[in-house]
Amino acid sequence: MATSKLSICFLLQLIFMTFALDLANGQGLKGCEASVLLNSPTKQAEKDATPNLSLRGFQIIDKVKTAVEKVCPGVVSCADILALVARDATVAANGPFWEVETGRRDGRVSNLNESTVALLPSSANISTLKSGFQQRGLSVKDLVVLSGAHTIGISHCSSFNNRLYNFTRKGDTDPTLDPNYIAKLKKKCKPGDQNSFVEMDPGSFKTFDEDSYYTLVIKRRGLFQSDAALLDDSETKAYVKLQATTHGSTSFKDFGDSMVKMGRIGVLTGKAGEIRKICTRIN
């Protein structure tokens, strides 16, 4: 349950939180039954997990939920609202539109440990990435397509500092990262820096332009090891090259298709879960 529960919103949460003006460390694998929205008086909910502490914008979902409840109470779940806001935020950033399938219900449980255990880390290699996506019913193509969401948002230095200063625990840098890019990153991220942040797609981090992301990856300027890993597989590398050389000719359609697939994984429907009246607490 934990894996499927945390899998669907890899991009939904990523995009939504980006346009709430703060993104957490380039990671976005959350519970798409809206469990990440729940509060815990003892700070044991998903939003209290270390990878999620930088997430912002929960109040936006709360405001949307309040407005929707006034019009049609008890009908639209927080999970569906999160999915719809993610799509609309993408469109607002000049990104693709896709039809969001609705009918999700909200979960009643939010566990801090699920985020820390089930997140695919930004340091993941291609084998880990492919395996993680496969376990969630997603293809290798979905992996490389959805990685394109790194065209928007920011990341804290702590998510990639090891690539700059201590890649193999010998005080070295990551050989797969462009040396000139390393020099620029070092100006913003000092050793041990946990709080400073950089743009994931320098110069256009508020615009959804996947071709820019794939061009950066080809130039060995993907910010995370998981970005660089896309060049370590023949299928993902071919897709990166295609989008980089054709200015993202199929990236928008592909992205929408993959988002729809993600939106079908592990959702609560029927009589499972509930439709929360307030997104931060169970009914």
Q: What's phi and psi for 172, nearest 5 deg?
A: -110, 175
Give the contacts of 185 (CB within 8 A, at least 6 positions apart).
160, 164, 198
Sign of CA dihedral 229, 182, 220, 6: positive
Q: Check: CB of residue 197 under 8 Å from CB of residue 240.
A: no
What residues are designated binding site for Ca(2+)? Answer: 31, 35, 46, 151, 201, 209
What residues are designated binding site for heme b? Answer: 150
Sign of CA dihedral 272, 276, 282, 283: negative
Sign of CA dihedral 17, 22, 27, 31: negative
Torsion, Cα 133 11 207 214, to 10 degrees, reads 0
What residues are designated binding site? Answer: 31, 35, 46, 150-151, 201, 209
Give the contacts of 223 (CB within 8 A, at least 6 positions apart).
26, 150, 155, 159, 160, 198, 200
Alpha carbon distances (Å) from 52 to 46, 92, 101: 7, 24, 26
What is the C-alpha to C-alpha distance for residues 258 and 98, in angstroms, rounded to an integer?
10
Residue with tokens 């957490």: 24
| Alpha helices (H) along 136-220 | 140-146, 161-165, 179-188, 210-218
What is the C-alpha to C-alpha distance for residues 177 and 55, in angstroms, rounded to an integer?
27
